[in-house]
Amino acid sequence: MARTLIAGNWKMNGLRADLEEVRAVAGAPEAAGTRIDVLLCLPATLLREACVLAQGTALRLGGQTCHTAVKGAYTGDVSAHMLADAGASHVILGHSERRSVHGETSAMIAAQAEAALGAGLKAIICVGETLAEREGGQVLDVIAGQLGASIPEMASPGELVIAYEPVWAIGTGHVAGPVQIAEVHGLIRQHLRDRFGEAGSDIAILYGGSMNPANAAEILAVENVNGGLVGGASLRAVDFLQICAHAERQAGSAGL
Ligand code: PGA
């Protein structure tokens, strides 16, 4: 069974003063790694300093995207090797904001994931439908298509995390309902089992989209939900740690 992961996604937020929030998470018992893993994916500018201050704790740090190349003439980009060198353990790939704002395709995301795995990072590959796709009854086709094309051929299950993030739920306060989440997470689990066999059951599938301390317990109790990818509510340690506490309790009652 997959180990629970609560991952924060700071997006383009955070100055050095906000490293105090990272310090608070790193030092908190909810992030001690007893039953769940806790990760903060930070802007590249904060990553190294955060890794240094989290040393000796269970808190993991990650990036939010990476280039497909190891290095080179790609102004403004960050490579997976650079993230790993800074101390990151994970990188978010294919977030809908990258897919829509930067025009990243599933093929590009697969190439980024290959680079990430090559650098020893775990890839958190995001999938999710838009509101128009949901209203058009295309949810399962969209998710299956994104999964099929975004997970690289060479990936092994231990290197992967999948995040289901309905685009219409991100930053909007609209959370997918338990039935909607269960349906998509079930489809993702089946896809992973078809592809990786039994080991597909060990890949964490995170829910993302307006998760907060008030709704986390209900979402985390849904079948095949193995954690969360948390945006806005990860910026303040007090909120983020409440979500971690819910996940700890849930993992405990599931006997993990
Ligand atoms: P949100 O963002 O929690 O602010 O909706 C989630 C995400 O985009 O990863």
pLDDT, tens digit (0-9, with 9 covering 90-100), for 140-187: 999 999 999 999 999 999 999 999 999 999 999 898 899 999 999 999
In this predicted structure, the answer to whether residue 61 has a pLDDT above a threshold of 80 is: yes
Q: In this predicted structure, what is the pLDDT of residue 253?
A: 86
Tell me the CA–centroid distance for residue 73 and ligand 1, in Å: 31
- Calculate the average pLDDT of the chain: 97
Radius of gyration of the chain (CA): 17
CA 74 to chain centre: 25
Dihedral (C-alpha) 170, 66, 148, 224: value to the nearest 10 degrees? -50
Q: In this predicted structure, what is the pLDDT of residue 255?
A: 76
How many CB atoms neighbour CB 231 within 10 A?
23
Tell me the CA–centroid distance for residue 69 and ligand 1, in Å: 27
Higher pLDDT, 107 or 174: 107
Q: In this predicted structure, what is the pLDDT of residue 76?
A: 96
Choose the catalytic residue: 21, 97, 165, 248. 165
Give, in order, the Cα–Cα distances in Å from 176 to each of 28, 86, 147, 170: 29, 35, 19, 10
Residue of 95, 100, 229 with the most ligand 1 atoms within 8 Å of its CB, for mutation:
229
Contact 26, 20 (CB under 8 A): no
Q: In this predicted structure, what is the pLDDT of residue 66?
A: 98
Contact 230, 208 (CB under 8 A): yes
Higher pLDDT, 174 or 63: 63
* Residue located nearest, by CA, to atom 1 of ligand 1: 231
Two structure tokens written together for 160: 């992967």
Half-sphere exposure of 77 (CA within 13 A, CB side): 16
Contact 31, 241 (CB under 8 A): yes
Q: In this predicted structure, what is the pLDDT of residue 256?
A: 72
pLDDT digits (tens, 9 = 90+) for 217-254: 999 999 999 999 999 999 999 999 999 999 999 998 88
* Catalytic (active site) residue 104: no
pLDDT digits (tens, 9 = 90+) for 190-216: 999 999 999 999 999 999 999 999 999
CA 105 to chain centre: 18
Choose the catalytic residue: 95, 185, 191, 246. 95
Q: What is the DSSP letter of 79?
A: B
Q: In this predicted structure, what is the pLDDT of residue 167?
A: 94
Tell me how far apart the alpha carbons of residues 119 and 244 are, in angstroms, rounded to a whole number: 28
Q: What is the DSSP letter of 118?
A: H
Contact 117, 155 (CB under 8 A): yes
How many CB atoms neighbour CB 148 within 10 A?
12
Contact 204, 4 (CB under 8 A): yes
Q: What is the pTM of this model?
A: 0.97
Closest CA to 233 of 252, 254, 256, 207: 207
Q: In this predicted structure, what is the pLDDT of residue 94?
A: 98
pLDDT digits (tens, 9 = 90+) for 65-76: 999 999 999 999
Ligand 1 proximity of 148 Cβ (cutoff 6 Å): no
Two structure tokens written together for 90: 């994970």
Tell me how far apart the alpha carbons of residues 43 and 205 are, in angstroms, rounded to a whole number: 23
Contact 58, 252 (CB under 8 A): no
pLDDT digits (tens, 9 = 90+) for 78-93: 999 999 999 999 999 9
Half-sphere exposure of 38 (CA within 13 A, CB side): 28
In this predicted structure, the answer to whether residue 29 has a pLDDT above a threshold of 80 is: yes
Tell me the CA–centroid distance for residue 132 and ligand 1, in Å: 19
Q: In this predicted structure, what is the pLDDT of residue 68?
A: 98
